[in-house]
Amino acid sequence: MLFKLLCHCLGLLCVVFVSYWNIEWRGGFAWDASFLQFNWHPVLMVTGLVVLYGNAAILYRIPFTWSQRKQHWKLVHAALLLSSLILSILGLCAVFDFHTGYHIPNLYSLHSWVGICTVVLFTAQWLLGLVGFLSPCSPLGFRKLLKPVHAWMGMAIFILSLASCLSGINEKLNSTAAYSSHPAEALFANFLGVLIVAFGLVVLGILSNQRWSRLEPGEESSRVSILLSAVIS
């Protein structure tokens, strides 16, 4: 599917760009509570909270998965989201350790507020999905009730993830001298932001197209019956 390929390409570019930005202009990476440890924060957040999360969200919209057992893809979906969550938590650890080492206050900016709310909601969403959709003890009625809420929350968390990453890029660039004079770093990071927006729009476009939604047992025959009735009448 063309949109899925576009999604993969944009996601890969996002990871490459955010990594190159922090290697070329920010000095690379370390895990020693220094400025180099902070550089892990944008890389882990963009990779986990945006790219991995976005690809996990559209997993059920891939046509070749429709003819296979949904339980298998539920496990893949949950595993991808868990990987995304782990990378996001590591990204938070990187910035908190850096702030502690340099005696910088935590959670003082709008970016940090939106980011921490996003990760908290993501954690709650993943745990609720684990209990509701993968637990054998979960009743069918509860799953049907939870499904639309789970889908809506998933899209809301993804939008918050995009907002967090974009505000983080802007906050970091505003701390750079001569940002308004358009140095090479600013142009590169701005283009990274455009790539993140493009990736987000493609993911949201795929999710909003109901023709690509996986049909549950019985829904396919119902859809065919409705179409036949419309043709006959």
127 located within any domain: no
What is the dihedral sign for C-alpha 148, 149, 150, 152? positive
Which tens digits make up the pLDDT trace of 129-148?
999 999 989 899 999 999 99
194 located within any domain: yes
75 located within any domain: yes
Instruction: Kindly state the DSSP code that residue 105 receives in the 8-state scheme.
Output: P
pLDDT score for 193: 98
The three-class DSSP label of residue 54 is helix
228 located within any domain: yes
pLDDT score for 219: 52
141 located within any domain: no
Quickly count: other Cβ atoms within 10 Å of residue 82's Cβ: 14
Pair of tokens at residue 99: 């702030």
126 located within any domain: no
Write out residues in the chain with pLDDT < 70, as ranges: 1, 177, 182, 215-233
**Taking a C-beta distance cutoff of 8 angstroms, is the pair 45, 91 a contact?**
yes
131 located within any domain: no
At 220, which CATH number? Answer: 1.20.120.1770
Q: Which structural domain, as residue segments, surrounds residue 164?
A: 2-120+156-232
Number of domains in the chain: 1
Which tens digits make up the pLDDT trace of 11-43?
999 999 999 999 999 999 999 999 999 999 999
Q: Would you give the end-to-end CA distance of the chain in angstroms? A: 34
138 located within any domain: no
pLDDT score for 212: 74
pTM of the model: 0.89
**Taking a C-beta distance cutoff of 8 angstroms, is the pair 51, 14 a contact?**
yes
